[in-house]
Structure 1
Amino acid sequence: MIYARRLDDIPLFADEADIARAVLGPGRVAEWRAMAVVLEREGLPRVDPMMGRRCWPAVREWFTKRPAPARATPLPPPPTKVGATKGQPPGDAPGLKWRSRKKGRAAYWVARHDIVKKGYRPETVRIHFNPQEPDHLQEIAARCRVLQQEMLTWAGEGRAAAETRPHDGSMASLIRLYQTDEASPYRDIKWNTRRTYDQIVRYIETSYGLVALHEIGIRDIRRWYDQAKAPKDPRSPETTRKAHGVVTMLRRLFGYGVMAEVPECERLARIMAEARFKQPARRRERLDASHVTAFIASAIESGRLSLALGTAIQFETTLRQRDVIGEWLIDDGTAANGVVHKGRRWSDGLTFENISGTVIRKRTSKTGKVVEHDLSDLPDTLAELDLIPVDRRTGPIVLNEETGLPYTKLNYIKWFRIIARKVGLPDEVWNMDARAGAVTEALDAGAQPNDVMNAAGHTQLSTTQGYDRTSLQKASRVAKLRVASRRKSNSSGQPDPA
């Protein structure tokens, strides 16, 4: 449906302001730009790469022939609410949440919890804006309305309708198939992995979603890698980890496309199979025994026995952070018991039920392998466990003293850093480095690599070796062995013939 009455002055190739005036009415350019992202998935003619504008006759014909509005009906004018003077978007901004960040407030759209439980993704979307632009608040509100409508339409149409939309040959369309197809491996990944995947595919879709698959070649992929690697500040180091994540996701998307028989994906998968990109450097930091000892003492002194105990268990047993403190998942209502709070269910963490006598038995969340550790071999950890009152020895072991509930990951990391700074631990040393420190200490002490692999719950020795941080002890041991071998060889050797 076209809303403007006078269209004679719109050129053959129209800019977004012209089209916004024709489709929505005057003064709604920001809203049109946000809407166009959704409408393009339904077939709205895209911006011509040569002209940098849309072909107006094609746009007009598309709106004329378009069936009954479904996913992205032009939005009504926003209500005339006040709030811009207080830093709030004027008008209706459903789902908008402001969060404090180091560089100021950040705007997020958050999906409705009941619809997320039905499988809708994404759960949250960061809304980027420039506070120096006079209409940035209107743009935030418009983007929220589009995202809200997209979510509500998904809920009304159902997942099946979303999956039957035709593939238009673009990167964005491939991403949508990957996220919605019941046969996609995306359906089988855990929620926290899915959250990471969603962040990467949003970057790809925002940056290259309009690119047709048949136009993509190795030069494009190499250029995308270089763009993702380039830091925002030229003085900062390259973001190789981000760039590698992008190309890894491209491999994943094209691989899915081959399975789903999406045109061009087999060719692109072959290209990616031969392409090589610089990988991010391995972390070299580790949390060693001296760090842990100082940290535990300070944590107990600060009234944070939970942090002392959690860090000690991580270091002494080599358990992953998630296997000690657990994680908060969306509660789907299928479990009959457990810890539930604000629609989230705690899962995978260490409980007192995992301890029998002095032995901890825990099925790890990543590999599913069961690991066992005898606390009688770890007297310091056992002593800290004894500080917990007997009547509290049920359920999760590591509880936030402020809430009485298991920590969220972010809160655990926040409090770890507060205590770590008190004892002078560098910010480069993270809580998760306890695992690397434990593996390195074990190998430095002469433990058999296979024994360390089993203790860490790894299924491959190469994984264990990845946690081993090169240390002076190893270099010293190698040097001593070489010198001893050389002396032995010289002492047993025959004198040179005269």
Structure 2
Amino acid sequence: MVGTGRRFALTSIHDMVCPLARHSRLMARKISMPSHLDAPGLKRRRNPKGADRIYWFATHKAVQAGFRPSVVRLPYDLDEPDHRLLIEGACIRLQTEMLAHLSGQRRDKAAFDGTILSLSRRYQTDPASPYRRLKHNSQRADFYVLRQLDRAVGNRQISAIKIGDVQRWYDVAKRSARPGGPERVRKAWGLIKKLRELCSYGVMAELPGCERLHTILRHARFPQSARRRVVMELHHVEAFIPQAIKMGRPSLALGTALQFETAMRQKDVIGEWAPVPEGSAFVPDAFVLNGREWGRGLSWEDISADLIIRKATTKTGAFAAHDLKLCPLVLDLLERAPVEQRHGPLIIDENAARPYAESAYGREWRIVARAAGIPNEVWNMDARAGAITEAENAGADLDHIRSAAAHSQASTTQRYSRGALGKSQKVAELRLAHRAARGKA
């Protein structure tokens, strides 16, 4: 993202993610400074066009300690006598803030000073903020995007942002990470979406300037990445399962079979790791890893004696039920499990003897998938779309598919149906029958 703010400017994606790089790059073009100014941290630099500019620089120690901004361009001219006192005042103020940071006397993170950074901090700390009501995994994903915004344009004054600034940030954020690589449209759109959400919160919190920018962003349109069209098909699953068993990964085989046969989300099958609630009672059989406790995944106890699974989904809480007697890929794998191991979590990492940690399931799944000859563009998450697409191709009623997938709306189910022919074939058959009937009349 590129933006020139009241206090600093970012000139490249590299600067956006690495303030130290910009700090060092500007330091390399040092030229002489007047010695009679009381302006700590002041340095003069010559830009590529040969023009002299003046900047305040934080010390390397302060930058390493996380102080931002590390470099501030000052909008003054050393050759103007009237500007000398302004330069000294700005440098002394910035130097004082830096020293306070180093001494641990940080400013109130919840204070709003009109910048995107202060809005972001308020959004994350205000008990009334929607951020505080998100699930732990959604908060973690939000924080990652917020940190990108903070680093890139955090010091921009909200009241000074124009639509041209936002468009420029979007254009730079979507640039390919490498020459000839694909544009990162999803990332760019996500950053703008998060900026909209920040401003929406700012409107609710009655923070100055947020309503104006929120109005601009509400009317602005930015291209999104195309919806995913890849599906996992039956032949992919049939190739994956024996390869996983061969590689000593029956858990991956069973997890994939369950996802494809039942259209359950990966998280509903393998579970998730959530922070252990404060004051919660100790549970002897619980799996705890780095302060997080496993839960909400399938367990052997979820399978009834007549091989029925009933489970509340993690995303919406909707109840899903599946008859595993009608899922031959799953049945075969369940029968392989030793009787003495049929308790606790259904999907256990063979190497760690516990449920898969964070992204380990997807990482290990890809290793087996490559060995099975499954294309890299087919992901584990595509099993759900594959199940829904196969069901529609088979002529299943859309509402029945929606119920099986535990969707609250049919429109969501339709988004998961990727290139299915079921409905179009049915329409074509009815049209042909209608033509035949008219021909005989």
Q: How does 1:110-125 map to 2 (within 5 A)?
A: none
Per the alignment, residue 176 of structure 1 pairs with 121
Per the alignment, residue 231 of structure 1 pairs with 176
CA change 1:437–1:66 in 2 (3 A) is: closer
Paired residues of 1:325 and 1:407 also in contact (CA < 8 A): yes
Per the alignment, residue 156 of structure 2 pairs with 211
Per the alignment, residue 288 of structure 1 pairs with 233
**Partner Cα separation in structure 1 for residue 207 and residue 344 of structure 2:** 48
Amino acid at match of 1:427: N
**Partner Cα separation in structure 1 for residue 261 and residue 228 of structure 2:** 20
1:73 corresponds to 2:102: yes
Paired residues of 1:16 and 1:33 also in contact (CA < 8 A): no
Please state whether the residue corresponding to 1:386 is helix, strand or coil. Answer: helix
Q: How does 1:397-408 map to 2 (within 5 A)?
A: 397-408=346-357
1:353 corresponds to 2:301: yes
Per the alignment, residue 48 of structure 1 pairs with 74
Please state whether the residue corresponding to 2:321 is helix, strand or coil. Answer: strand
1:14 corresponds to 2:45: no
Deviation sequence 1:10-46 (CA, Å, 0-9, x none): 669923999888x7xxxxx4334455744x6xxx995
1:336 corresponds to 2:282: yes
1:187 corresponds to 2:187: no
Paired residues of 1:45 and 1:59 also in contact (CA < 8 A): no
Q: CA deviation at 1:281?
A: 0.5
**Partner Cα separation in structure 2 for residue 469 and residue 194 of structure 1:** 29
Per the alignment, residue 450 of structure 1 pairs with 399
Please state whether the residue corresponding to 1:309 is helix, strand or coil. Answer: helix
Deviation sequence 1:59-78 (CA, Å, 0-9, x none): 454268779x76x125xxxx
Deviation sequence 1:430-462 (CA, Å, 0-9, x none): 001000000101111111111111111111111
**Partner Cα separation in structure 2 for residue 421 and residue 187 of structure 1:** 40
Please state whether the residue corresponding to 1:226 is helix, strand or coil. Answer: helix
**Partner Cα separation in structure 1 for residue 94 and residue 415 of structure 2:** 56
CA change 1:169–1:34 in 2 (3 A) is: farther
Deviation sequence 1:388-425 (CA, Å, 0-9, x none): 12221111000011111001242211221111112211
Paired residues of 1:13 and 1:56 also in contact (CA < 8 A): no
Q: Name the structure, 1 or 2, with higher relative contact order (CA <8 Å, separation 6+).
A: 2
Paired residues of 1:204 and 1:246 also in contact (CA < 8 A): yes
**Partner Cα separation in structure 1 for residue 202 and residue 271 of structure 2:** 34
**Partner Cα separation in structure 2 for residue 254 and residue 167 of structure 1:** 13
Paired residues of 1:16 and 1:32 also in contact (CA < 8 A): no
Per the alignment, residue 316 of structure 1 pairs with 261
Q: CA deviation at 1:335?
A: 4.7
1:420 corresponds to 2:366: no
What RMSD, in angstroms, separates the aligned Cα atoms of the two structures?
3.1
Please state whether the residue corresponding to 1:211 is helix, strand or coil. Answer: coil
Q: TM-score, normalised by structure 2?
A: 0.80
Paired residues of 1:12 and 1:56 also in contact (CA < 8 A): no
Please state whether the residue corresponding to 1:169 is helix, strand or coil. Answer: coil
Q: CA deviation at 1:491?
A: 3.4
Paired residues of 2:37 and 2:88 also in contact (CA < 8 A): no
> Which one of 267, 271, 280 corresponds to residue 212 of structure 2?
267
CA change 1:31–1:445 in 2 (3 A) is: same
Q: CA deviation at 1:480?
A: 3.7
Please state whether the residue corresponding to 1:319 is helix, strand or coil. Answer: coil
Please state whether the residue corresponding to 2:166 is helix, strand or coil. Answer: helix
Q: How does 1:431-446 map to 2 (within 5 A)?
A: 431-446=380-395
**Partner Cα separation in structure 1 for residue 157 and residue 71 of structure 2:** 13
CA change 1:66–1:416 in 2 (3 A) is: closer
Choose 186-195 or 280-289, whichever is displaced more.
186-195
Unaligned runs of 5+ in 2: 1-33, 46-53, 79-83
**Partner Cα separation in structure 1 for residue 55 and residue 76 of structure 2:** 18
Per the alignment, residue 437 of structure 2 pairs with 488
**Partner Cα separation in structure 1 for residue 424 and residue 187 of structure 2:** 32
Per the alignment, residue 251 of structure 1 pairs with 196
Q: CA deviation at 1:345?
A: 1.0
Please state whether the residue corresponding to 2:102 is helix, strand or coil. Answer: coil
CA change 1:392–1:49 in 2 (3 A) is: farther
> Which one of 325, 333, 340 corresponds to residue 270 of structure 2?
325
Q: CA deviation at 1:309?
A: 0.6
Per the alignment, residue 30 of structure 1 pairs with 60
Q: CA deviation at 1:7?
A: 6.6
Paired residues of 2:55 and 2:73 also in contact (CA < 8 A): no
Paired residues of 2:272 and 2:297 also in contact (CA < 8 A): yes
Deviation sequence 1:102-141 (CA, Å, 0-9, x none): xxxxxxxxxxxxxxxxxxxxxxxxxxxxxxxxxxxxxxxx
What fraction of aligned residue pairs are identical, expressed as a percent?
Answer: 42
> Which one of 311, 331, 339 corresponds to residue 362 of structure 1?
311
Paired residues of 1:45 and 1:58 also in contact (CA < 8 A): no
Amino acid at match of 1:260: A
Per the alignment, residue 113 of structure 1 pairs with none
Paired residues of 1:399 and 1:405 also in contact (CA < 8 A): yes
Per the alignment, residue 131 of structure 1 pairs with none
Per the alignment, residue 142 of structure 1 pairs with none
**Partner Cα separation in structure 1 for residue 313 and residue 328 of structure 2:** 23
Amino acid at match of 1:356: S
**Partner Cα separation in structure 2 for residue 50 and residue 369 of structure 1:** 61
CA change 1:288–1:66 in 2 (3 A) is: closer
Choose 444-453 or 341-350, whichever is displaced more.
341-350
Unaligned runs of 5+ in 1: 1-5, 24-28, 75-148, 493-498
Choose 6-15 or 215-224, whichever is displaced more.
6-15
